[in-house]
Amino acid sequence: MIVGPFLASEALAAGLLNRHALRTRCRPLLPGVYIDRSMVATLYDRTEAAWLWSRRQGVIAGAAAAALYGARWVDNSCDVDLFHSSTKPPSGVRVHRGRLFPEEKRTVSGMLVTSPARTGFDLARLGLVADVDALLKATGVTVADIDAVAGSHRGSPRLRLLEQVLAHVDAGAESPRESWLRLLLQRNGFPPVETQIEVRDEFGHFVARLDMGWKELKVAVEYDGDQHRTDRKQYVRDIRRIEEVQLLGWAVVRVFKEDSEAQIVRAVRAARDRQGTRVTQRRKRNSDLARG
């Protein structure tokens, strides 16, 4: 069995299989590119297939490139974006013909891939905040790096959208829903949140890391995923962690996927108001004590 996608012409020429085996034991992924029938094609397989279809001349881009760099949450069913000269790509492959500078290319797993900064540039121009969040987290590429690419491509389409996306990305997001939640708060007039906030006790010992919030007010917003269904032990640990944080004076707003946007906004606003009042009162007491 040939592992992974392969060019039928190369496999036949090398004697790795005959035409009968190709027809009966393999199936086409793309024109001229096959995979063993027993294998379920992953995004990585389809990405490699697209690159082979281009006769190893294309440059993988977009979400498929981000996945090659280790970005999480990329949809396994997404089309593979490819910089290539073809005008008739097969289904499942999107071809782009824009300009790529030499420094905007890398080799990953033997394939030509857009650099992390160029990948971020392309994703941001599609308005994909969560995808750029994931790319930043996986690669360490920065907004400044992506901006530098934009500076080399003045006149490219959707640069205004890119600016809007880069103003809101955050490498601290650990899931698409956290990205969504952060943007929801921003849209509703809340100050920018800090992400991945470390909480320590009065002795400096680490207590917890919170999804997002406002450290000065001691307000945290935590997105609760499916741990209560998929990992009971982790869910219990999360509850205990929140209890410890609350004992240190934090207000923690827990958000569930069933919550409406209005419910979330009301809960966060109420928590900020309560904590803001406490901060004001504490400052007043400290001021009174200082005056003697």
What does R_g of the chain's alpha carbons equal in angstroms?
25
- Close Cβ partners of 131 (under 8 Å, ≥ 6 residues apart): 63, 66, 71, 73, 74, 123
Chain segment 152-183, per-residue pLDDT in tens: 999 999 999 999 999 999 999 999 999 999 99
Identify the residue with better confidence: 230 or 207. Answer: 207
**What's the rounded mean pLDDT across residues 218-243?**
84
Q: CATH says 176-291 is which class?
A: alpha beta
Instruction: Report whether 67 contacts 135 (CB < 8 A).
Output: no
* pLDDT value of position 232: 82
The pair of three-digit structure tokens given for residue 107, joined into one six-digit string? 């080799």
pTM of the model: 0.87
Question: Residue 2's pLDDT band (boundaries 50, 70, 90)?
Answer: confident
**What's the rounded mean pLDDT across residues 243-263?**
96
- The number of residues in the chain equals 292
* pLDDT value of position 287: 64
Q: Residue 135 and residue 70: Cα distance in Å, rounded? A: 8
Instruction: Report whether 221 contacts 212 (CB < 8 A).
Output: yes
DSSP annotation string for the chain: ---S-EEHHHHHHTTSS-HHHHHHHEEEEETTEEEETTPPP-HHHHHHHHHHHTTT--EEEHHHHHHHTT-SS--TTPPEEEE-S-SSPPTTEEEE-----GGGEEEETTEEEE-HHHHHHHHHTTT-HHHHHHHHHHH---HHHHHHHHHTSTT-TTHHHHHHHHTT--TT--SHHHHHHHHHHHHTTPPPPEEEEEEE-TT--EEEEEEEEETTTTEEEEEE-SHHHH-HHHHHHHHHHHHHHHHTT-EEEEEETTS-HHHHHHHHHHHHHHHHHHHHHHHHHHHHHHH-
* pLDDT value of position 292: 61
Instruction: Report whether 136 contacts 171 (CB < 8 A).
Output: yes
Identify the residue with better confidence: 238 or 249. Answer: 249
Chain segment 4-51, per-residue pLDDT in tens: 999 999 999 999 999 999 999 999 999 999 999 999 999 999 999 999
The Cα-based distances of 152 to 99, 119, 147 in angstroms read 10, 14, 9
Q: pLDDT at residue 289 above 70?
A: no
> Across-strand partners of 220?
213, 252
**What's the rounded mean pLDDT across residues 247-275?**
96
Domain ranges of the chain: 42-166, 176-291
